[in-house]
Amino acid sequence: MSKHIIQTHEKPPLGQAIPLSIQHMFAMFGASVLVPTLFGINPAVVLLMNGVGTLFFFWITQGKCPAYLGSSFAFIGPALIIIKRYKDAPGGGFAYAQGGFVAVGCLVVILALVIKRFGSDWIDKLLPPAAMGPVVALIGLELSGTAASTAGILTQTNYVAVKGSEGMFQQVVTAVDPKNAIVFLVTLGIAVFGSILFRNFLSVIPILIAIISGYITAAILGVVDFAPVEQASLFSLPHFQLVQFRLDAIVTMLPVALVLISEHIGHQIVTGKVIGKDLLKDPGLHRSLMGDGFSTMASGMVGAVPTTTYGENIGVMAMTRVYSVWVIGGAAVLSIISSFIGKFSELIATIPGPVIGGISFLLYGMIGASGLRILVDSRVDFGKNRNIIMTSVIFVTGLSGVSVHLGSVELKGMVLACVVGMAMGLIFYILDRLHLTNDSEDDGAEAAAE
């Protein structure tokens, strides 16, 4: 018997909703806290605004779009440049990065208003299923290396200069720590086998159970450092910081909008496939994009980091078949609460890399599989040259490591693949309209009708 699906509008009993919400919070916590750590700011204000932004997102999307808004990685490159450039300015460099965050969020909101006016039908033409499938798959596949790296299960190879021998280097290989491997396998194993062996309510919280089991294993093996928990105060207030605006900082940050929008569209498509609804139509791309943009603006105004819909939480939904916005909203509330409880947030922060990596290993794979599902469900005909070429070019673009730089912003992976896919989709559409192709979609439709 298949698992019961909890739809977006359904409200599970409180006894079930709380562990389900904790499961979502654990899934996002590691990656979301990493971004403010890189910027050298207090993660508490980020946890607060992630929660607030998620609740605001639900309000904008009328509670129809289950998504958790966590810290965006797309802004890291240009933000670090701005922070370094203005490190000696009043308020520090991060205040000027905040101005860039607000500007990007504003630009995203403006685009949302444009989409509301002209619609989103263009996405179907620019990203047909042969392009949409690989773009969505790349969201998960390009993160697979990150999951393995976080878990500490990759062999590290470095080259060290040999003393007394100019120009000579010695290869130093750092083996995988067996403790990391054990914790990783326990976490991943319980998540995998629990999802197919657990019954009743346990079958929808295998990720939570896996994280707890992995954490206990790590503690037994001495991998967990409890010192930060002991040193943290019980209650604490997030550190807020006013935004500063400079034109050159804003110009440095604006190209990130392209990354954020491409990522958002991809996440909406894969979420729609997971829950069985077309979120680009209802509640509409303009609503979800506006929610993301407003959340980023609000975060930038008070000293937090920009937000984006989180792939980890999409993976949780795909695995558990629990799509309730009440559950994800509960995770947002827990994130807000944890921002004021120092020991609680530090305790969650002690979850070691092998545990987070073990869970991410599976969740990112679930997203990748969702992209392949688009190709299957849409019955993409790979007998047509256009389809096999489009899918092939997008996959290679996303996985090859090729990058394009727009100022300080780097386009690569899924984002560059999405841009390439949209360009190919537009060119193929124009060629079809000019009747220059030998396998146009119109010809295919007519042949099918006959």
pLDDT, tens only, 376-416:
888 889 888 889 999 999 999 988 888 888 776 778 888 88
pLDDT tens digits along 116-137: 988 877 777 888 889 888 988 8
Binned at pLDDT 50, 70 and 90, residue 172 comes out as: low
Residues with Cβ < 8 Å from 64, sequence gap 6 or more? Answer: 8, 9, 277, 279, 282, 283, 325
What integer best gives the mean pLDDT of the chain? 85
pLDDT reading at 371 higher than 60: yes
Euclidean distance between CA atoms 138 and 267, whole angstroms: 11
pLDDT reading at 85 higher than 90: no
Binned at pLDDT 50, 70 and 90, residue 52 comes out as: very high
> Of 52, 40, 18, 67, which Cα lies nearest the Cα of 317?
67
Binned at pLDDT 50, 70 and 90, residue 329 comes out as: very high
248 vs 168, higher pLDDT: 248
pLDDT at 231: 85
270 vs 121, higher pLDDT: 270
pLDDT at 449: 43
Side-chain-side CA neighbours of 217 within 13 Å: the count stands at 24
Q: Which of 74-78, 251-255, 443-447 has the lowest mean pLDDT?
A: 443-447
254 vs 11, higher pLDDT: 11
> Stretch 366-372: mean pLDDT, rounded?
83
> Stretch 200-229: mean pLDDT, rounded?
89
pLDDT reading at 143 higher than 60: yes
> Stretch 219-241: mean pLDDT, rounded?
87
> Stretch 255-280: mean pLDDT, rounded?
86
The reply to whether omega before 283 is within 30° of 0 (cis) is yes
pLDDT reading at 447 higher than 50: no
Phi, psi (5° rounding) for residue 5? -90, 125
pLDDT at 408: 65
Binned at pLDDT 50, 70 and 90, residue 160 comes out as: low
> Stretch 227-242: mean pLDDT, rounded?
85
pLDDT at 151: 81
pLDDT at 450: 43
pLDDT reading at 170 higher than 70: no
Query: What pairs with residue 238 in β-bridges?
Result: none
Binned at pLDDT 50, 70 and 90, residue 292 comes out as: very high
pLDDT at 117: 87
pLDDT at 21: 94
> Of 335, 403, 300, which Cα lies nearest the Cα of 75?
300
169 vs 248, higher pLDDT: 248
pLDDT reading at 256 higher than 90: no
